[in-house]
Amino acid sequence: MKGIRDFSQDLFNYLLVVNFMDKDSRFMFEAIKEAEKSLDEGGIPIGAVLVSNDKIISKGHNRMVQEDSPILHAEMDAINNAGRLSSKEYESLTLYTTLSPCPMCSGAVVLYNIPRVVIGDNITLMGAESFLLDNNVDVKVLNLKEASDVFNKLLDKDPNLWKRELDRVENSTDVKR
């Protein structure tokens, strides 16, 4: 069992890490927490958050398995949870997503003129980043180990679940693993 001293040491280490983390990594860790939530629910561990003026305005995670939905990717969930915004509000947003966004989610980003996307991992899977770039979206790739780790937990736990999802879209997004 942990003593109070261990807890304060953990807290100290956490605050130290968070303090020295840049803004984008900090918001990405919130998206990773969302991905963990999905994994806990038996779903696909991908998470997203929407940030406006350094504040999180909505969070989301992939809920395709949980809701038997063809469209509830993490990014779509976060965009949906933000409600219907004005074009000016969309233009203030950054979308943080743990995994490189697919053509559907990239399409929503372009449709609503979300100007910036930060990606946790594009090594496990490469989405429609070239489409985002072609439409003048500012794309930043962090390739954080923690972002790929959370997704790889699914591949270790239930590789067929992800394979089934890819079969449904005839592998139009490809896992490089």
Name which of 2 and 70 has its Cβ closer to Zn ion: 70
Single-letter residue type at 128: A
Q: Report in angstroms how near the CB of residue 2 gets to Zn ion at its nearest.
A: 39
Q: Is residue 49 close enough to count as binding Zn ion by CB under 5 A? A: no
Which of helix, strand or coil describes residue 110? helix
Judge whether 59 and 48 are in contact, CB under 8 Å: yes
Q: Report in angstroms how near the CB of residue 119 gets to Zn ion at its nearest.
A: 12
Q: Is residue 105 close enough to count as binding Zn ion by CB under 5 A? A: yes
Annotated active-site positions, please?
Answer: 75
d(CA 64, CA 69): 4
CA torsion sign for 10, 12, 15, 19 is negative
Q: Which stretch binds Zn ion (CB under 5 A): 16-24, 34-42, 70-78, 147-155?
A: 70-78
Q: Is residue 73 close enough to count as binding Zn ion by CB under 5 A? A: yes
Q: Report in angstroms how near the CB of residue 77 gets to Zn ion at its nearest.
A: 10
Which of helix, strand or coil describes residue 164? helix
